[in-house]
Amino acid sequence: MFKTLKDAAKLAKDLAVAVRHDVEGKTEAAKTAIATVTDATGLTATRAPKLIFAMDATASRSASWAMAMELQSEMLAMAGTEGLAVAIGYFNNSHCGVTPYYFPNATLATTYMRTIQMLSCYTKIAQLLQAFESHARNPSGARVAIFVGDAFEDDVNAALAEAAKLKGYGFRVFMLLEGSNPSAERSFKAVAEATGGVFARFDAGAKPQLRELMQSIAAYTAGTLSIAHQGAFAEALKALPPPARK
């Protein structure tokens, strides 16, 4: 697919520019990047199970972002023989949205994530949930999203309204809260439940805990969740209907 990592990096940076300027891909710059990505990778045609991995990309989250890059790479590598394709979502001071493509491998997804700047802002979770809808409406789009964050500063009613729309498409959001924040925990739980997804909390900086949660969600998405996946969170996923697949 790519002769060198440099080729992958250039492609990811081109896509990053397109997404930041126009998440729907309507400008000429975005269309050029779309054509390049599609020709090189066949991203829009992939039939692999799909999910959206989304995070808070504000300035205080730099360490968590770096940890998540490593873990999403592991998550994709361990998601079963069928593999996963992943779209990346994030918000910061200058952007809130989801890539309109699904990266077919961990290298390209991680390279793209490295282009994203950490910029301070209030949370934009309701807006991010709205961005998920373009994928949810697509018959062959993702039906699962992971969101990792440590705060909830949105209007919870606005977020729940967006969550209810997603549930109507059979789209589940798994809300993962880093650290202890009782107010955020209530809102994270409410959003996850409103979509039919599941909430979980992990300790700040606890890579093994986040790894276990992400790998369980990846296995659920790929249809490979098994007895090997243990714990209350994995059991909650086993109780869910499988994601809709086209």
The dihedrals phi and psi of 47, each to the nearest 5 degrees, come to -105, 10
pLDDT confidence of residue 105: 73
Global model pTM greater than 0.85: no
pLDDT confidence of residue 62: 62
Q: Which ranges of the chain would DSSP assign to H, the alpha helix? A: 5-21, 28-41, 62-77, 106-113, 125-137, 156-168, 182-195, 207-222, 232-238
For residue 64, give the 3-state DSSP assignment: helix
pLDDT confidence of residue 40: 41
| Tens of each residue's pLDDT in the chain, 246 residues | 444 445 555 555 555 555 444 444 445 554 554 454 444 444 444 567 898 999 887 656 666 667 776 776 676 665 444 478 888 888 877 778 898 888 877 777 777 777 777 666 688 899 999 999 999 999 889 999 999 988 898 999 999 999 999 999 999 999 999 889 999 999 999 999 999 999 999 988 788 898 899 889 988 998 888 888 889 999 999 999 998 765
pLDDT confidence of residue 59: 54
pLDDT confidence of residue 206: 83
pLDDT confidence of residue 42: 43
pLDDT confidence of residue 46: 54
CA distance 114 to 181: 28
CA distance 203 to 205: 6
